[in-house]
Chain A
Amino acid sequence: MSGPVLEACETEAGATGPVLDVRDLEVSFGGVRAVRGLGYHVQAGEVLGIVGESGAGKSAASLAVMGLLPRHAKVSGSVLLHGRQLLGAPEKELAAFRGRTISMVFQDPLSAMTPVYRVGDQIAEAVRVHQRVDRRRAVERAVELLDLVGIPNPSQRARAFPHEFSGGMRQRAMIAMAIANDPDVIICDEPTTALDVTIQAQVLEVLKKAQRETGAAIVLITHDLGVVAGFADRVLVMYAGREAESGSVRDVYRHSRMPYTIGLLGSVPRLDMGRRLPLTPIEGAPPRPSRLPPGCPFEPRCPMAVPACSLSEPPAVEVGPGHRAACLRAREIGQAGVTMPGILAKPEARAVPPAGPVESGAGTAGPGAVAERETGTDGPGAVVERETGTAVPGGPVPAEAVAGPGAAARSPESPRESRAVVLEVSDLVKHHPLMKGAVFRRRVGTVRAVDGIGFDLREGETLGLVGESGCGKTTALMEILELGRPERGRVAVFGRDTATLSPRERLAVRRHLQVVFQDPLASLDPRMTVHDIVAEPLLAHGHRDMGARVRRLLALVGLDAADAARYPQDFSGGQRQRVAIARALALEPRLLVLDEPVSALDVSIQAGVLNLLEDLRRRLGLSYLFVAHDLAVVRHIADRVAVMYLGRIAEIGQVEQVYASPAHPYTQALLSAVPIPDPDKERARRRILLEGDLPSPANPPSGCRFRTRCPKFAALTGALRARCAEEEPEIRPMGGDHGAACHYAEKLGVV
């Protein structure tokens, strides 16, 4: 290795200057400027968070610093590591820095590790590249590092291949690799995005530990404002390839000066805020790097834009000590003491309310259109009347309405008990056989994907089904959608037991039970126009003359009638999801099943779709079964929530009750692991860290399934413990319809 060079650098590191200093960084791919004049610096031991939505240029900027961009990328500017210029440095010199002085943790730990080498060997390789040690010593060091990042049985696990590790363990191994040579800077590119929230909490803890051990500066790139709030010292908000705002976390979160930052913070559903505070989505979508607006790139979406904004792009200027913002009106925003709600009120002032597209869409289609829809779903006139200002006569109940109860019982305003049950699930079981052998296939086990769950969903209500990946929430949903005879238990949709339905009845039930999937691009046929997509369910159920109806549906979800002729790839993610919602609404369903409908979307877009869903539910009297892994989203949209763990429901109840005082240790841990985008609150919280990974659903622990990771179980003694190991807990009422499946459930506030 180039010893003298590195030693020279290390002596320089003693100085107080920034470890990493990036100035005027420009990255372009074939003429498209992905990063446009970005600058930042980090001191030793400091954590800088870089946040922004997809396409903001965060990853391109970090790869440019490492010199890891593909060859066709053009990079200019200056990247100083300990005062040495990295841009344009010969590869030999760069390679000597990489992994030793500056290292990186990547987003997807599965594809980021070479699949054919053992994890330990890959870490040992990182050691041997920079240190003159023999193979055995390097492997020993790899085991020490794995131990440091909290992998149990490190010497044994070092011999495993990457695919034998869980996602969280892989990310730990990546961190071990990154700190192998005691670096001065660690760049983490979305290190926890692919992970479940409890695993994310573990990995963040490991990162903190790694920082303590190495004293390194950390650049944390993420889209999650909550993670930054709890972890970073300073934050830099990126938009369209450049700095929108930067400063200390407290300044940026509490005294935001750039409308984009304010909008971003306003559009995140909050775990610590009640549901009825509507989200404020940012209008439109982030600009494409290839087609930037002439002035400020945020101007077209900005509620505070003035004509001057579209003339030239404002540079980021100092607006306070260490606080910079790239906005013409930054000082104004600061001086006037414009608080967040003040700015958030602006969109309304511009006659575009939060769920703007919907309202205005309904307007273009004429009030009659909505009225007609309403009669179809035999909704009570009152609801619609209030929303649209149109009198709606109580229409006749359509002949094919399945078990439609009286309209009086349909109002969402009436108490829960008096409303009709649209979906009832009891003791639902779905086991997948685990097969082995290519020639003589035989059953070697059972994956208990869903193992006896029950809940009910009433008219006009939203039930959130949450849990980490592998908990069985999607399987449960698919079982319900099947409308067949479940393996065990009972599913009743609109009061009809699905096991007894004839094919004709099943088709009739299906019209009223529609679904929206997670990935709108994958769930929409790329070769069909939006019109064909939305009209298809109508066609399948024998409707004619669909043009007007499709236009009405598009207007309902906030799309233009002209969009009907376009193809899914012409739309942004949020618009595609609106198309999927329009398709689901085509048959005027009463129950909508939503499988992670917003998890593929950026926060500012997600807020719009959530508001649309909420608005549709109120106006059309829909019921939602909302499957999600994001607890903050569920808190925002759901009335009731069911928390799943390993195929069972751990806790169920009203959202307010469950979030305010969760009784099951798993819910408590889950809620405490979700970061809150508020630096003061987030830092004051105490995390309940769970040990290890989800056990295999093929071989769940005896008794209570959660006991292997349960902090409460760990604190119990003898006889009390035995009960957890032997007896599977049933859901016990905790007051009202709140219930928890824990023998020793106790309410505890964690948010």
Chain B
Amino acid sequence: MAGFLLRRLVNYAVLIAVAASLAYMLAATALDPRSNYEGRNPRPPAAVIDAQLAMYNLDDRTPLFERYLTWAGGVVRGDLGRTWNGDLVADRLGRRLGVTLRLIVLGVVLGSVAGVLVGACAGVRQYGWFDRLSTVAAFVVLAIPTVVLANMLIICAIWVNDHLGAQIFLVSGEATPGLEGGAGEGLLDRVKHLALPTLSLAAGQIAVYSRYQRNMMLDVLEADFIRTAMAKGLRRRTALLKHALRTALIPAVTYFAFTFGSLLVGATITESVFGWHGMGEELVASIRTNDVNSVAAISCFAALAVLLASLASDVLHAVLDPRVRVG
């Protein structure tokens, strides 16, 4: 197993290098940081602009490949370079990553657990009222774009707040700036901020997982081993929980690792609607500001996240399913 993982890791390292290099080349060719300086009022002298760009390895007069080598050399040493106006890319990304993690962990965990449960219940009583209801709900959620769903949640939350006359839900940002009070107060404030974006993320996740899990469940429900478990004397509920769900969970768990990895950079819309300054929002912002090094760094990070997630899903699969464990 260890050897297998090691080989996988080597493979992934190559893939990450290729993905990151291509992303850098694309960003460096398509984005134009010079225009940021030239657009300033008053416009700085050309020599100053050149000097600034050269300092941050953003000068479009240097050949692309040379810039790439400089950038790649830095990345290998752990230096992600600077933004177009001189901030350290690594620092900013670190902050942003913290925000994103605080945002998505709860949403993804909640969404997957609830989704699996909903799907399992729906599968067990196929064509029952719960199955029909959850199917319709899942397709409605899947059909509504995240941006619409998030804004609808905000409208509802404000309506609830107005009717109750209390600020139950806070709709923007991660925490109220300059909040007075102790740690408990601060935590409550954060929870109030977190509720809506978590709900918005979880809704989508539940919709996907419930459909997925329902089908997996239907596959194993008819399986002979459920019959065997019941022939042993297990009650139907126990047989379904211990034998059917355990077996049907394998794909969902591996899928979980994958979603988590891709959401690290992929929760852009949720982040911008609720005013959380996370990774996804940063990616869009840095493209808009012609920030070559940030775009390259985020792409590199995204590749890393997805591949680590797929590694994690491989490991989880092997842990959960003895049939794929090979010597």
Q: How far is the CA of A96 from the CA of B235 in the complex (A)?
A: 9
Chain B residues, Cβ within 8 Å of A129 = 232-234
**B223 and A111: CB pair below 8 A?**
yes
CB-contacts of A106-139 with B (<8 A)? 106, 108, 111-117, 125-126, 129-130
**B224 and A106: CB pair below 8 A?**
yes
**B234 and A95: CB pair below 8 A?**
yes
Q: How far is the CA of A66 from the CA of B225 in the complex (A)?
A: 15
Chain B residues, Cβ within 8 Å of A98 = 230-233
Query: What is the minimal beta-carbon distance from B217 to any residue of chain A, in angstroms?
Result: 15
Q: Which of B98-106, B204-212, B255-263, B317-325 participates in binding chain A?
A: B317-325
Given known contacts A66-B231, A98-B231, is B321 in contact with A116 (CB within 8 Å)? yes
Q: How large, as a class, is the contact surface on chain B?
A: 20 to 34
Q: How far is the CA of A96 from the CA of B228 in the complex (A)?
A: 14
**A163 and B232: CB pair below 8 A?**
no
Q: How far is the CA of A113 from the CA of B323 in the complex (A)?
A: 13
**A68 and B225: CB pair below 8 A?**
no
Query: What is the minimal beta-carbon distance from A225 to any residue of chain B, in angstroms?
Result: 25
Q: How far is the CA of A114 from the CA of B236 in the complex (A)?
A: 15
Instruction: Confirm or deny: B246 has a beta carbon within 8 angstroms of a beta carbon on chain A.
Output: yes
Instruction: Confirm or deny: A100 has a beta carbon within 8 angstroms of a beta carbon on chain B.
Output: yes
**B321 and A115: CB pair below 8 A?**
yes
Chain B residues, Cβ within 8 Å of A116 = 246-247, 250, 320-323
Instruction: Confirm or deny: B229 has a beta carbon within 8 angstroms of a beta carbon on chain A.
Output: yes
A130 nearest in chain B by CB position: B233
Instruction: Confirm or deny: A291 has a beta carbon within 8 angstroms of a beta carbon on chain B.
Output: no
**B323 and A161: CB pair below 8 A?**
yes
Instruction: Confirm or deny: A677 has a beta carbon within 8 angstroms of a beta carbon on chain B.
Output: no
Contact indicator per residue, chain A 61-76, by CB within 8 Å of chain B (1) or not (0): 0010010101000000
**B322 and A91: CB pair below 8 A?**
no
**B246 and A95: CB pair below 8 A?**
no
**B231 and A161: CB pair below 8 A?**
no
CB contact between B228 and one of A95, A97, A113 (< 8 Å): that residue: A113
**B243 and A114: CB pair below 8 A?**
yes
Q: How far is the CA of A454 from the CA of B110 in the complex (A)?
A: 65
Query: What is the minimal beta-carbon distance from B299 to any residue of chain A, in angstroms?
Result: 25
**B322 and A161: CB pair below 8 A?**
yes
Chain B residues, Cβ within 8 Å of A211 = none
Chain B residues, Cβ within 8 Å of A97 = 233
Query: What is the minimal beta-carbon distance from A13 to any residue of chain B, in angstroms?
Result: 18
Instruction: Confirm or deny: B7 has a beta carbon within 8 angstroms of a beta carbon on chain A.
Output: yes
**A68 and B7: CB pair below 8 A?**
no
Instruction: Confirm or deny: B70 has a beta carbon within 8 angstroms of a beta carbon on chain A.
Output: no
Q: How far is the CA of A190 from the CA of B227 in the complex (A)?
A: 15
B320 nearest in chain A by CB position: A116
Instruction: Confirm or deny: B29 has a beta carbon within 8 angstroms of a beta carbon on chain A.
Output: no
B325 nearest in chain A by CB position: A161
Q: How far is the CA of A585 from the CA of B225 in the complex (A)?
A: 43
Instruction: Confirm or deny: A724 has a beta carbon within 8 angstroms of a beta carbon on chain B.
Output: no
**B235 and A99: CB pair below 8 A?**
no
Chain A residues, Cβ within 8 Å of B228 = 104, 106, 112-114, 174, 177
Chain A residues, Cβ within 8 Å of B321 = 115-116
Q: How far is the CA of A439 from the CA of B11 in the complex (A)?
A: 8
Query: What is the minimal beta-carbon distance from A185 to any residue of chain B, in angstroms?
Result: 12
Q: How far is the CA of A181 from the CA of B246 in the complex (A)?
A: 25
**A68 and B227: CB pair below 8 A?**
yes
Contact indicator per residue, chain B 184-204, by CB within 8 Å of chain A (1) or not (0): 000000000000000000000
Chain A residues, Cβ within 8 Å of B247 = 114-116
CB-contacts of A566-622 with B (<8 A)? none
CB contact between B224 and one of A92, A112, A180 (< 8 Å): that residue: A112
**B225 and A95: CB pair below 8 A?**
no
A108 nearest in chain B by CB position: B224
CB contact between B225 and one of A63, A113, A178, A438 (< 8 Å): that residue: A113
Contact indicator per residue, chain B 102-144, by CB within 8 Å of chain A (1) or not (0): 0000000000000000000000000000000000000000000
Instruction: Confirm or deny: A708 has a beta carbon within 8 angstroms of a beta carbon on chain B.
Output: no
**B323 and A163: CB pair below 8 A?**
yes
Q: How far is the CA of A70 from the CA of B142 in the complex (A)?
A: 32
Query: What is the minimal beta-carbon distance from B12 to any residue of chain A, in angstroms?
Result: 11
CB contact between A95 and one of B7, B224, B233 (< 8 Å): that residue: B233
Contact indicator per residue, chain B 235-276, by CB within 8 Å of chain A (1) or not (0): 110000001001100100000000000000000000000000
Q: How far is the CA of A412 from the CA of B80 in the complex (A)?
A: 86
**A114 and B225: CB pair below 8 A?**
yes
**B225 and A92: CB pair below 8 A?**
no
B236 nearest in chain A by CB position: A91
Instruction: Confirm or deny: A623 has a beta carbon within 8 angstroms of a beta carbon on chain B.
Output: no
Q: How far is the CA of A111 from the CA of B320 in the complex (A)?
A: 18
Query: What is the minimal beta-carbon distance from B129 to any residue of chain A, in angstroms?
Result: 15
**A126 and B224: CB pair below 8 A?**
no
Q: How far is the CA of A161 from the CA of B225 in the complex (A)?
A: 14
Q: How far is the CA of A438 from the CA of B250 in the complex (A)?
A: 21
CB contact between A115 and one of B11, B230, B322 (< 8 Å): that residue: B322
Q: How far is the CA of A103 from the CA of B247 in the complex (A)?
A: 23
Chain A residues, Cβ within 8 Å of B233 = 95-100, 126, 129-130, 181
**A92 and B235: CB pair below 8 A?**
yes
Query: What is the minimal beta-carbon distance from B189 to any residue of chain A, in angstroms?
Result: 44
B327 nearest in chain A by CB position: A436
**A125 and B232: CB pair below 8 A?**
yes
CB-contacts of A80-102 with B (<8 A)? 91-92, 95-100
Q: How far is the CA of A106 from the CA of B228 in the complex (A)?
A: 8
**B227 and A106: CB pair below 8 A?**
yes
Query: What is the minimal beta-carbon distance from B123 to any residue of chain A, in angstroms?
Result: 14
**A115 and B7: CB pair below 8 A?**
no
Chain A residues, Cβ within 8 Å of B234 = 95, 99, 125, 129
Q: How far is the CA of A66 from the CA of B232 in the complex (A)?
A: 10
Q: How far is the CA of A113 from the CA of B247 in the complex (A)?
A: 11
A103 nearest in chain B by CB position: B231
Chain B residues, Cβ within 8 Å of A111 = 223-225
Chain A residues, Cβ within 8 Å of B322 = 115-116, 161, 163
A115 nearest in chain B by CB position: B323
**B235 and A91: CB pair below 8 A?**
yes
Which one of A100, A125, A174 has the greatest number of beta carbons of chain B within 10 Å? A125
Chain A residues, Cβ within 8 Å of B235 = 91-92, 95
Query: What is the minimal beta-carbon distance from B232 to any residue of chain A, in angstroms?
Result: 4
Given known contacts A114-B243, A116-B321, A163-B322, is B230 in contact with A68 (CB within 8 Å)? yes
Chain B residues, Cβ within 8 Å of A178 = 231
A97 nearest in chain B by CB position: B233
Q: How far is the CA of A98 from the CA of B233 in the complex (A)?
A: 5
Chain B residues, Cβ within 8 Å of A130 = 233
A113 nearest in chain B by CB position: B225
CB-contacts of B288-326 with A (<8 A)? 320-323
Query: What is the minimal beta-carbon distance from A141 to any residue of chain B, in angstroms?
Result: 14
Chain A residues, Cβ within 8 Å of B224 = 106, 108, 111-112
Chain A residues, Cβ within 8 Å of B229 = 114, 125
Chain A residues, Cβ within 8 Å of B7 = 437-440
Q: How far is the CA of A116 from the CA of B11 in the complex (A)?
A: 29
Chain B residues, Cβ within 8 Å of A437 = 7
CB-contacts of B144-172 with A (<8 A)? none
Q: How far is the CA of A103 from the CA of B227 in the complex (A)?
A: 11
Query: What is the minimal beta-carbon distance from B45 to any residue of chain A, in angstroms?
Result: 55
Q: How far is the CA of A115 from the CA of B219 in the complex (A)?
A: 14
Chain A residues, Cβ within 8 Å of B246 = 114, 116-117
A178 nearest in chain B by CB position: B231
Chain A residues, Cβ within 8 Å of B230 = 68, 95, 98
9 A-B residue pairs with Cβ-Cβ distance under 8 Å, sorted by A, are A63-B227, A68-B231, A98-B230, A98-B232, A106-B228, A114-B243, A117-B246, A163-B323, A174-B228
9 tightest A-B CB contacts, nearest first: A99-B233, A99-B232, A111-B224, A126-B232, A129-B233, A112-B224, A161-B322, A114-B225, A104-B231
- Given A95-B235, A106-B228, 13 new contacts (CB under 8 A): A91-B236, A95-B234, A99-B234, A114-B229, A114-B243, A115-B323, A116-B320, A116-B321, A116-B322, A129-B234, A174-B228, A177-B228, A177-B232
Q: Chain B residues in contact with chain A, CB under 8 A?
A: 4, 7, 11, 222-225, 227-236, 243, 246-247, 250, 320-323
